[in-house]
Amino acid sequence: MTSPPLQGVRVLDLSLYLPGPYCTRLLSDLGAEVVKVEPLAGDPVAGFMPGAYAFLNRAKRIVRVNLKHDLGRELVHELAAECAVVVEGFRPGVADRLGVGFDAVRQLTPGLIYCSISGYGQTGPDAARPGHDIGYEAGGGAWAAALAAGGELSVPHVPVGDVGGALFGAIAICAHLAGPRTEAVHLDVSLQEVVTHMSVARWAAALRDDVEVDVSALAVYAPGMGLFRTQDRRWVALAAVEDKFWIAMCAALELPELADAPHQAHAARMRDRDLLRRRLVGRIAELTLAELQRALAQADVPVDLIRRPAEVAGDPHLRERALFLQTDEGTHVDFPVVQGDRRSFAAVTLPDPPSRESADLSALGVTPERQAQLRACGALAS
C-alpha cells in the first residue's frame, strides 16, 4: 500500500478528553489531516493525563480558540467549511449553543459527516446527564455477568466505553466516507450504548429469554480461566477453558486427578468450579513464574504474564512487529493494524507532542496578519 486510505480527508476535531480525540487519532493514523480545536486553556486531559494527551493528539494540528468570541467562532466555521468530517464530544446542546452544532455546520459543507460522541446519546431522558466511563460501563451492562456470579466487582483499568465509542465513531465515519455523500449526516454515538453492544455477548441469552444470567454457561467463569499468582508474586492470565487445554494443564502441573472423570468435560468442571479453582490456585502458588511458564509452554496451554508497562514496551514479539514508534519525543504506540508495509499514515512533520500554543494556521489558509489579529483580540491563543 503506497497511499493513505484517508488521504485528502480533513477532519475538524472539536472534542476533549478521550473518546473524540481517540476517534480522530485513529482517522489520522489512516491518513486523514486532523485539525483539533481546543479552548484557550487547552484540553483538560493534558493536565491530569499528559502522556495520554500526547498519545491521543499525535500528528494533529492544534488550534486553541475562544468559541464564545464572534471572531473565534467565525474562524472555526471557516475551518469546518474545508473539512469532510467534524467530531464533537460536548454534552448534547452545548455545540449548538457555541454555534458549531450540526445544523450550523452542515450549511458550510455539502455531504458533511458530523459525529457527536456523548455519554448517553443526543436524545432520550438521560441525554443531558453528566457521566464518566465507569458509569457508562455500569449502565451498559459490562458487569452484568459478574454481578450474577456474585463475585467481587472491581474498577476496570481499560476505559471500555470511551475507547469503544471512539472505535464505533471511526467505523461509522469511514463507512460514510466510503459511500456516496449527497447530504450531510449526523452520527450519534452513545458511549453507554456502545458498552451494551460490546458486553451483550456475555448475557445475550438472558436478554433473549428474559431470565437471569446463567454463569455456568459462561467460559469466563471456568475454573481454568482467570488470574493466578505465582510463588514469586507475579500474576498470570490463564485460559484453560477447552477440554484439551484443561487436561494438558492438569498433566503439566502434576494435577492429573483434576482431569479424571467427570472433570475432563467442561460441564462437569463448571458444576465443581469453586473446588477445582481452589486446587489450581494452591498449585500455581507453589511455582515460580519461570516454572509455570516453562511447564505450560511445553504443554501448549495459553498463559500470559500480566506485564508492567516497561515489560510490554520491551516485548520482543511486539518489537519485531514494530508496534512502537520511536520519535524525538519518546516512544509511542503506533496504529495496531499493519497495512501493507506500514502501520500509520499520520503526518510526522507536526510537533509531537502538540505545542501548548496554537499551531501556525498558514497551511490552512489563515494569513499571518489575520492570526495576529485574532490573537490580539483574544479569539486565538497566543
**Domains contained in the chain, CATH given:** 10-199+320-376 (3.40.50.10540), 217-305 (3.30.1540.10)
Distance CA 147, CA 169 (A): 29
Contacts of 49 (CB under 8 A, 6+ apart): none
Which positions ≥6 away from 69 have C-beta within 8 Å?
Answer: 377, 378, 379
How far is CA 262 from each of CA 258, 267, 270, rounded to the nearest angstrom? 9, 9, 11
Classified as helix, coil or strand, 339 is strand
Cα-trace Rg, the chain: 25
Distance, CA of 237 to CA of 293 (rounded, Å)? 11
Say how far apart CA 18 and CA 380 lie, in whole Å.
23
Provide the pLDDT for residue 349: 56
DSSP notation for 45-71: HHHH-HHHHHHHTTT-EEEEB-TTSHH
**Residue 341: what pLDDT?**
85
How far apart are the C-alpha atoms of 268 and 225, rounded to whole Å?
Answer: 15
**pTM for the full predicted model:** 0.93
DSSP state of 360: P
3-state secondary structure of 348: coil
> How far apart are alpha carbons 193 and 161 in whole angstroms?
9
Instruction: Quote the pLDDT of residue 148.
Output: 86
Amino acid letter for position 348: V
- Please name the helix (run of DSSP H) or strand (run of DSSP E) that holds residue 314, with its range, or none: none
Burial (Cβ within 10 Å: 0-12, 13-18, ≥19) of residue 282: exposed
pLDDT in tens, the chain (382 residues): 578 999 999 999 999 999 999 999 999 999 999 999 999 999 999 998 888 998 899 889 999 999 999 999 999 999 999 999 999 999 999 999 999 999 999 999 989 999 999 999 999 999 999 999 999 999 999 998 888 888 788 888 899 999 999 999 999 999 999 988 889 999 999 999 999 999 998 888 888 888 888 887 888 899 999 999 999 999 999 999 999 999 999 999 999 999 999 999 999 999 999 999 999 999 999 999 999 999 999 999 999 999 999 999 999 999 999 999 877 767 889 999 999 888 989 876 555 445 556 777 888 889 999 999 999 999 999 7
Helix-, strand-, coil-residue percentages of the chain, each rounded to 5: 45, 15, 45
What is the rounded CA–CA span in Å between residue 367 and residue 362?
Answer: 5
Which H/E stretch holds residue 355? Answer: none
Query: Three-state SS for 165?
Result: helix
Q: How far apart are CA 28 and CA 57, in angstroms?
A: 9
What span, in angstroms and rounded, lies between the C-alpha atoms of 376 and 146?
A: 56
- Tell me the residue ranges of DSSP E strands in the chain: 10-13, 33-38, 61-64, 85-88, 113-118, 185-190, 225-229, 235-239, 303-305, 324-327, 330-333
- Going 317 to 321 to 327 to 331, the CA torsion angle's sign is negative
Count, residues in the chain: 382
Beta-sheet strand order (sheet of 61-64): 61-64, 33-38, 10-13, 85-88, 113-118, 185-190
CA gap 247, 256 in Å, rounded: 8
- CA-to-CA distance for 296 and 273, rounded, in angstroms? 20
Q: Residue 209: which residues within 8 A CB-CB, separation 6 or more?
A: none
- Is the Cβ–Cβ distance between 171 and 27 less than 8 Å? no
